[in-house]
Amino acid sequence: MIILTIDTDWAPQEATAFVLKKVQALGVKTTVFFSDPSPIPYWPLLEVGAHPDLSRRHAFQDPGGSMAMASFEHDAQVMAAESHILSQFKKNIPEAEAVRTHRFYWHSDLARVMAKNGFLYDSSMILPYMPGLKGFRVGRLLRWPVWASDHLHLGRHFPLDRLAMPYLDEPGLKIFCFHVTYLYLNARSLEDFNMIRVRLGQDQEEHKPLPGAGVWTLFELLAERIAKTSTGRWLRDLPEDLILKNLSQ
């Protein structure tokens, strides 16, 4: 089952609006994780999620040396800071039930912090090209692992003009993680991504994606495959048979 998701990261609003308008025209369900809550161009097939950056050290530097981080006090500071960030996202995007952290940041107490702030679904894990993937519960939080991303696709030099990835046609969850900047440029390589800041900073009367097959081409191909049988799925409506059952359940 193919699921399309997009991280906006901190792309300019013009680039985000441009990409999401094109995504809307494809007519398939898409989950978009927003780092900036304004503006969000709502449409019926859009599921809104939060995309916070929790990867930086959000605790005061302890004078006790490096071992000070191995303390309950340090952990409490980190989780308090993370809870504040997540609560602000929930305040700014109250309809967001799903969350994905920047760089797939995670630690063992984060599920509890996310659930405490009202999130039901998390997609902050990537298990690239693994067959038979399913979601699983951690406390009150349901976690959905990412199967593929645009930067890994480019890094492994998989084709961009056709769907040729290992285990794509095997049973299991296939959550794809795309990024606004890659889609906006129709990036064809990781070297193209290195030019994003330059190209996004240019004053162009009309945006011109890079020519040829690129990341946008790949997104379109996946959307076309989904559209052959349905309008797709969001994280919130994935079926129960895609959730691993604990022995105690």
Tell me the per-residue pLDDT of 144-177, one tens digit each, with 9 for 90 and over. Answer: 999 999 999 999 999 999 999 999 999 999 999 9
Give pLDDT, residue 245: 84
Contact (Cβ atoms closer than 8 angstroms) between residue 182 and residue 149: no
Q: Are 141 and 111 in contact (CB under 8 A)?
A: yes
Per-residue pLDDT of the chain (249 residues; tens, 9 = 90+): 999 999 999 888 889 999 999 999 999 999 999 998 878 999 999 999 999 999 876 555 555 566 566 677 778 888 999 999 999 999 999 999 999 999 999 999 999 999 999 999 999 999 999 999 999 999 999 999 999 999 999 999 999 999 999 999 999 999 999 999 999 999 999 988 776 665 665 555 567 788 899 999 999 999 999 999 999 999 999 998 999 987 554
Q: Where exactly are the structural domains of the chain?
A: 2-242
Q: Please check whether the domain covering 2-242 is classified as CATH 3.20.20.370.
A: yes
pLDDT at 209: 83
Helix axes 215-227, 13-26, angle to 10 degrees: 30
Residue with tokens 């162009």: 204
Picking from 6, 2, 4, the residue whose alpha carbon sits closest to that of residue 178 is 6
Claim: this prediction has a pTM higher than 0.95? no
Listed residue (186, 122, 185, 177) closest to 151, CA to CA: 177
